[in-house]
């Protein structure tokens, strides 16, 4: 009888082992390649986020104050200029853009409701004023000129204030994002309309007197 040309069982087992080893190597190479790609993507995203955080304007210069919150109908002398809180008129100032200075006591009440008050020097050029107005949101914002400011533009929220170098100071957007209806707001969500336009204290809106 002629010898069989079929591989022996031992040889078949050896071939199977070699095939399985080959498949494991291929799988390991594929998994390793995918891992390298994922790590590369994570690295790029991480660098991008880190660069974005590093380039983002900081609010380290924001000054913080402890303020009162009583309702009064008499003029108030504030420690800060512009004020960032304190005793204020029972009628709040309607949020919006004003061409003339507004009553401190009403503007402070708007801050209590979560508004950000952006003040600028009266001699600021008209095109810069327009740029300033266009750079802030429409709601819960008060923009007005203010005499004797310590810097060209000042952003104020309840208990917080930031002096800005100009209308294009990138910290303004960060301040608005952080403090407009922010966690410091004593009465978040309270109205910023239906009060007064600043010309009288007879606005429709009036909070209950503070205890």
> What pLDDT score was predicted for residue 112?
98
The C-alpha atoms of residue 29 and residue 185 are separated, in whole angstroms, by: 56
What tokens were used for 132? 């300033």
Do residues 111 and 69 make contact, with C-beta atoms less than 8 angstroms apart? Answer: no
Query: To which residue do tokens 């380290």 refer?
Result: 60
The C-alpha atoms of residue 145 and residue 100 are separated, in whole angstroms, by: 6
What is the Cβ-side half-sphere exposure of residue 112, based on CA atoms within 13 angstroms? 23
> What pLDDT score was predicted for residue 209?
46
> What pLDDT score was predicted for residue 90?
97
- Tell me if the bond preceding 82 is cis, omega within 30° of 0: yes
Q: What is the pLDDT of residues 153-183, one digit of tens each?
A: 999 999 999 999 999 999 999 999 999 999 9
Order across the sheet with 96-97: list the strands: 63-64, 160-164, 153-157, 116-120, 141-145, 96-97
Q: Is the pTM of this model over 0.85?
A: no
Do residues 117 and 110 make contact, with C-beta atoms less than 8 angstroms apart? Answer: yes
> What pLDDT score was predicted for residue 202?
56
CA 208-156-90 angle, to 5 degrees, is 15
> What pLDDT score was predicted for residue 114?
98
Using 70 as the pLDDT threshold, list the residues of the chain that sit under it: 1-7, 45-56, 201-211
């Amino acid at each position: 009888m002629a010898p069989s040309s079929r591989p022996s069982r031992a040889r078949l087992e050896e071939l199977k082992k070699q095939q399985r080893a080959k498949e494991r190597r291929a799988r390991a190479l594929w998994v390793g390649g995918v891992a390298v790609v994922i790590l590369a993507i994570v690295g790029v995203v991480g660098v991008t986020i880190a660069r974005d955080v590093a380039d983002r304007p900081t609010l380290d210069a924001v000054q913080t104050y402890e303020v009162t919150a009583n309702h009064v109908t008499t003029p108030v002398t504030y420690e800060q200029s512009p004020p960032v809180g304190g005793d204020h008129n029972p009628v709040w100032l309607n949020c919006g853009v004003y061409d003339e200075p507004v009553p401190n006591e009403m503007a402070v009440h708007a801050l209590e409701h979560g508004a950000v008050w952006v003040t600028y020097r009266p001699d600021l050029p008209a095109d810069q004023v327009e740029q300033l107005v266009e750079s802030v949101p429409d709601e819960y914002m008060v923009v007005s000129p203010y005499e004797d400011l310590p810097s060209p533009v000042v952003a104020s929220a309840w208990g917080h204030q930031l002096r800005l170098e100009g209308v294009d100071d990138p910290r303004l957007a960060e301040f608005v994002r952080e403090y407009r209806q922010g966690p410091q707001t004593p009465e978040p969500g309270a109205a910023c309309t239906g009060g007064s336009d600043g010309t009288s204290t007879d606005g429709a809106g009036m909070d209950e007197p503070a205890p």
